Amino acid sequence: MNNKLRSPIKASTQSFIEIEEIKDDILLLKDFSAALIIEVGAVNFWLLSTEEQNSIIYAYAGLLNSLSFPVQILILSKKMDISLYLDYLDRKIEKQTNDLIQKRLNSYRDFIKNIIKKNTVLEKRFFFVVPFSPLELGISGANTGNLNKEYVITRAKTSLYPKRDNLIRLLSKIGLRATVLQKQEITELFYNLYNPSATGRRLAPVESYTDVVLTTS
């Protein structure tokens, strides 16, 4: 009997990632739960006065206490890529005809470069994730094997959109800008989470990609 050594079968990336589909602004997972992701702009907290800081803290606490539905808060940090900004400064310096302004621009560019060498400049992103559970579908949601993806996405939108609008309204009341991530932004977010790099990567329009089907021989 010929027993050949075989390498272990490794799971594909598709089976590892829990995402089933991204439709519009809805993230559908393999267990038929779903989520909507809202990115929130940052505030330079330490430049505010003590009164302004306290006001934001109390307003934010009031926002969280007023919510009647669960949310997840996600904070991502990555090294900031300012190479494009440095290129922009170089172009401005080359086009500048005033010697004094050109000298000051050169000093400013060198100042930025020294900061980068001595310190790690981080970019922080803040997200509210509003979840949807298949149990919200009632009895049919208890047996996910019989569910249809389009049906779940439609019901998830019906449940999540009022919560989205309420959360955005509450955030705007305390001066925070909120943006709902769409398919392109969600895809880029998860691509960079699963493929970490020093500065992150932008993707071509997701509609331009073709599906790849993995088969075993």
Check whether 142 has a pLDDT greater than 60.
no
Q: Long-range contacts for 209-216 (Cβ within 8 Å, ≥24 apart)?
A: 214/12, 214/14, 216/9
* Confidence (pTM): 0.73
Q: Following CA atoms 35, 26, 207, 185 in sequence, which dihedral angle do they give, to the nearest 10 degrees?
A: -60
pLDDT in tens, 161-186: 999 999 999 999 888 899 999 999 99
Number of helices and strands in the chain (H, E): 7, 6
pLDDT in tens, 36-90: 999 998 888 778 889 988 988 999 999 999 999 999 999 988 777 777 788 888 9
Amino acid at 122: L
Higher pLDDT, 143 or 79: 79
For the chain, the domains span: 13-78+124-205, 81-120
